A and B are shown apart, each in its own frame.
Chain A
Amino acid sequence: MAMPSQIPVAPPSSDEIAILRSRFADTLKPDTRAGYSGWIIDKIQLQAFATALRNELGYDYLSSVTAVDYLPQGQFEVVYQVYKTTGGRGINFKVQVTRTDDVEVPSLVFTYPGAELQEREVWDLFGIKFSGHPDLRRIFMWEGFAGHPMRKDWHEPYYEEEVKPLKSRWPDGQIYSAESKNIHGDNITLPEGFNSKDQTFDPEKALYDALRQSSKDDVGLGTDRIIVNLGPQHPSTHGVFRIAVLLDGEKIINLKPVMGYLHRNHEKIGERNTYIMNIPYTDRLDYLSSMSNNFGYALAVEKLMNIKPPERAEYLRVMMAELTRISNHLMAIGALLNDLGAYFTPMLYSLEERELILDIFEAVAGSRMMCNYFRFGGVARDLPDGVLQKIKDLIFERLPRKIDEIERFLGENEIIRARGVGQGVLTTENAIRYSAAGPLLRASGVPYDIRRAEPYSIYDRFDFDVVVRQNGDIYDRLMVRFEEIRQSIRIVQQTVKQIPEGPVTTTKPVYQVRVPAGESYGRVEGPKGEVGFYIISNGKPNPWRYHVRAPSFINLTAFGPMCIGYKVADVVAVLGSIDIVLGEVDR
Chain B
Amino acid sequence: MNGMFGKGILKGLGVSLKRFVETYLDDLTWLGKRYGTTEGIAHRASKDARGIFTVQYPEEKIPVPEEFRFIPFLVYDEGLNGEINLRCTSCGICAKVCPPQCIWIVRSTDPITGRPIPDPADFYIDADICMNCGLCAEYCPFDAIKMDHEYELASGARNLYNKKRLSKSASYYETIRPINSSRENVLRAAKFSARTRVSE
Contacts and interface: CB of A to CB of B under 8 A. Distances in A.
Given A276-B135, A418-B1, A511-B93, A412 B8 contact: yes
Given A169-B105, A170-B96, A384-B65, A410 B134 contact: no
Interface string A259-302: 00000000000000110111111001000000000000000000
B138 A509 contact: yes
Band of interface residues on A = 35 or more
Interface string B2-22: 001111110110011001000
A173 B126 CA distance: 13
A409 B13 CA distance: 7
Contacts of B107: 171, 173
Interface of A: 164-166, 168-171, 173-175, 177-178, 273-274, 276-281, 284, 345, 349, 352, 355-356, 359, 362-367, 370, 372, 380-381, 384-385, 390, 393-394, 397-398, 405, 408-418, 421, 509, 511-512
A314 to B, nearest CB: 21
26 contacts: A165-B95, A168-B104, A169-B103, A170-B90, A170-B92, A173-B104, A175-B124, A277-B97, A279-B133, A281-B99, A284-B131, A345-B16, A352-B49, A359-B45, A366-B68, A367-B68, A370-B131, A370-B132, A380-B138, A393-B47, A394-B47, A405-B15, A408-B12, A417-B4, A511-B93, A512-B97
Given A165-B95, A417-B8, A511 B139 contact: yes
Interface string B40-73: 0000011101000100000000001111110000
Nearest to A346: B12
Given A345-B16, A409-B16, A367 B129 contact: no
A390 B42 CA distance: 12
B147 interface: yes
Given A164-B101, A169-B95, A175 B65 contact: no
Nearest to B96: A165
B43 to A, nearest CB: 12
Nearest to A390: B47
A273 B134 CA distance: 16
Contact of B132 (A359, A367, A380, A405): A367
Contact of B96 (A380, A409, A509, A512): A512
A175 B67 contact: no
A509 B15 CA distance: 49
- What are the 6 tightest A-B residue pairs by CB atom distance, in nearest-first order? A412-B8, A280-B133, A170-B92, A170-B95, A173-B106, A277-B99
Contact of B67 (A178, A364, A405): A364
B192 to A, nearest CB: 20
A376 B138 CA distance: 14
A381 B67 contact: yes
B27 interface: no
B12 to A, nearest CB: 5
